[in-house]
Amino acid sequence: MLKNSPIRVALISLSITIAIVVVRIIAFLISNSLVILADTLHSLFDILAGIIAIYAIKTASKPPDKEHTYGHLKAENLGSLYEATLILVVCIFIIYESLSRLMEPSKNLVTYDYILIFILLFTLFADLWRGSALRKASKKYSSLVLEGDSLHYFSDASVTFSAIIVISIGVLLFSGQSLTILDSTAGLFIASYFAYSGARLAKRSIDDLLDRAPPGVIEKVQSVIKEVNCIPMQVRARRAGNKVFIDCVVCTPSNISHVQAHELTEVIEKKIRTKLNYKEIDLVLHMEPMLQTREEAVRKDVQKIINDLGISAHNLMVEENEGKFDIRMHAEIPARMGLNEAHDKVSMLEKRIREEISDIKNVIIHIEPYKEVQIDVREAIKKILQLNPSLAQNMKMKSLVTSKIQDKVYLDLVCDFSKSMTVEEVHKITASFESLLRELLGDDVIVTIHQEPA
């Protein structure tokens, strides 16, 4: 069960730590050196930290249950925080002891000997080996606890190396109170270094416990969603142990089908997993259709009023102006109608727009003449549907408005299509129908088909 597992790595590291502590205690008893005491106390707390690490990893490896639906991964973060706290406790003690000895060096004489150098060289190589082994294991298992242990032992190695340098200098150049001052000063610097490392580890653990978003994750998720022409909303990310949890609301184009939205979800998920450098990602995407803009809503309401009044219009524009909207359009009026009657007709249109739609600033309507089309369009449509049963089966014409402006013939149709059809299928049918109409009626015919779900 423990073979090739993070718990096995932590157990081996703990065993080595116990052996090193015994060696360092012997070195301290020989020398009374604060430098070696700092190293020894740190190793003692490493034993306790190792026990915490084993418990944390074992707890974090438990699967989710009814009470812990996200799993137990934050046990690793708690373990790392405990380790950091222990480091800071040791540092406070060493700093206090260093300052006490500096104030009264004669009461705490230190003895340096060459035997200390050989003892510390042994512990140095042991720290370097296990620090390297734990760093590889932390990457392999994505374990924050093992990463914290690796940091400890590399810190131990650097401090042990510094201690070797200090003791070597002390043996050659110092003695008596001056040696105590050297030892205490070195111990003060070593404790400060340990405090800095512990504070960094504590900050990272606290960030994860408080659900701080991992650096760069939200930005990368937003970038992926924008790449597929969607809008990211409410992107949230947090880390627990070796796993990253991400949830996001994705606004999709409102004209795509449910099947297309599902396919888009799979594309986004694949891109996110590829872009993020995490082995385990728990990703939840909620797809929402984009809400129509205020301009789109106003355009839709204006078009409905135009249709209700039986007026043909084109070049309809809705533009925002100082928090309100300007409406512009070309209204198509029979060429033989008098100007007064035509003006009354567009005035009625403007009145309806202002009464039924709020925040309208200007309504500008250009009157444009049209002539009734003499060709029998309905017969042409009937002929096309008879010759193409598949078209007749999939579309049903509800209304037809024909007009002629200058030399162009305009055909405006409203057709019903099955709700189960996709946008792509509807587009293919209408494109085929338009092409057949132009073959019968000529290229001067402008066909506009408004598709509605049946």
Nearest to 256 by CA among 224, 288, 296: 288
Q: Are residues 338 and 274 in the same domain?
A: no
- Looking up residue 190, the CATH number of its domain turns out to be 1.20.1510.10
Residue where a domain stops, chosen among 181, 209, 237: 209
pLDDT of residue 4: 47
Q: Are residues 337 and 282 in the same domain?
A: no
Report whether 16 contacts 123 (CB < 8 A): no
Q: Assign 3-class secondary structure to the chain.
A: CCCCCHHHHHHHHHHHHHHHHHHHHHHHHHHCCHHHHHHHHHHHHHHHHHHHHHHHHHHHCCCCCCCCCCCCCHHHHHHHHHHHHHHHHHHHHHHHHHHHHHHCHHHCCCCCCHHHHHHHHHHHHHHHHHHHHHHHHHHHHCCHHHHHHHHHHHHHHHHHHHHHHHHHHHHHHCCHHHHHHHHHHHHHHHHHHHHHHHHHHHHHHHHHHCCCCCCCHHHHHHHHHHHCCCEEEEEEEEEECCEEEEEEEEEECCCCCHHHHHHHHHHHHHHHHHHCCCCEEEEEEEEEECCCCHHHHHHHHHHHHHHHCCCEEEEEEEEEECCEEEEEEEEEEECCCCHHHHHHHHHHHHHHHHHHCCCEEEEEEEEEEEECCCCCHHHHHHHHHHHCHHHHHHEEEEEEEEEEECCEEEEEEEEEECCCCCHHHHHHHHHHHHHHHHHHHCCCEEEEEEEEEC
pTM across the whole model: 0.47
Q: Answer whether residue 231 is part of any domain.
A: yes
For 139-188, write each residue's pLDDT tens digit: 776 666 667 667 767 777 777 787 788 878 887 887 777 877 887 888 78
Q: Report how far Cα 348 is from the mean position of its chain's Cα atoms.
A: 52
Question: How far apart are the C-alpha atoms of 307 and 102, rounded to whole Å?
Answer: 94
**Residue linked to tokens 């249950």:** 65
Question: How far apart are the C-alpha atoms of 374 and 45, rounded to whole Å?
Answer: 99
Q: Answer whether residue 271 is part of any domain.
A: yes
Question: How far apart are the C-alpha atoms of 257 and 388, rounded to whole Å?
Answer: 27
Q: Are residues 263 and 194 in the same domain?
A: no
Report whether 280 contacts 245 (CB < 8 A): no
pLDDT of residue 292: 61
Q: Answer whether residue 449 is part of any domain.
A: yes
Nearest to 239 by CA among 278, 266, 200: 278
Q: Are residues 96 and 192 in the same domain?
A: yes
Q: Are residues 194 and 83 in the same domain?
A: yes
**Residue linked to tokens 């162009």:** 408
Residue where a domain stops, chosen among 289, 313, 332: 289
Question: How far apart are the C-alpha atoms of 19 and 27, rounded to whole Å?
Answer: 13
CB atoms under 10 Å from CB of 229, counted, come to 9
Question: How far apart are the C-alpha atoms of 348 and 351, rounded to whole Å?
Answer: 5
Report whether 205 contacts 144 (CB < 8 A): yes
Q: Are residues 234 and 306 in the same domain?
A: no
Q: Are residues 404 and 329 in the same domain?
A: no
Question: How far apart are the C-alpha atoms of 350 and 230, rounded to whole Å?
Answer: 36
Q: Answer whether residue 351 is part of any domain.
A: yes
Q: Assign 3-class secondary structure to 299-317.
A: HHHHHHHHHHCCCEEEEEE
Task: Taking each helix axis as running N to C, give the angle between helix 6-31 and helix 34-60, from 0 to 180 degrees, rounded to the nearest 10.
Answer: 160
- Looking up residue 385, the CATH number of its domain turns out to be 3.30.70.1350
Q: Answer whether residue 61 is part of any domain.
A: yes
Q: Answer whether residue 117 is part of any domain.
A: yes
Q: Are residues 34 and 152 in the same domain?
A: yes
Question: How far apart are the C-alpha atoms of 352 and 307, rounded to whole Å?
Answer: 12
Q: Are residues 143 and 13 in the same domain?
A: yes
Structure token pair of residue 406 = 């200058």
Domain count, the chain: 4
Q: Answer whether residue 244 is part of any domain.
A: yes
* Strand pairing class (324-334; 312-321): antiparallel
For 1-60, write each residue's pLDDT tens digit: 444 466 676 677 777 778 878 887 888 787 777 777 777 776 776 677 667 767 776 776
Residue where a domain stops, chosen among 192, 209, 226: 209
Q: Answer whether residue 1 is part of any domain.
A: no
Residues of the chain with pLDDT under 70: 1-7, 9-10, 42, 45-46, 49-50, 53, 57, 60, 70, 141-146, 148-149, 152, 242, 254-255, 291-293, 370-376, 404-408, 443-444
**Residue linked to tokens 């040696």:** 179
Question: How far apart are the C-alpha atoms of 398 and 416, rounded to whole Å?
Answer: 7
Q: Are residues 309 and 416 in the same domain?
A: no
Question: How far apart are the C-alpha atoms of 363 and 344, rounded to whole Å?
Answer: 14
Q: Are residues 230 and 191 in the same domain?
A: no
Question: How far apart are the C-alpha atoms of 150 and 158, rounded to whole Å?
Answer: 12
pLDDT of residue 1: 41
Range of the domain at 315: 294-370
Q: Are residues 184 and 272 in the same domain?
A: no
pLDDT of residue 327: 92
Question: How far apart are the C-alpha atoms of 28 and 20, rounded to whole Å?
Answer: 12
Bridge-partner residues for 451, per DSSP? 415
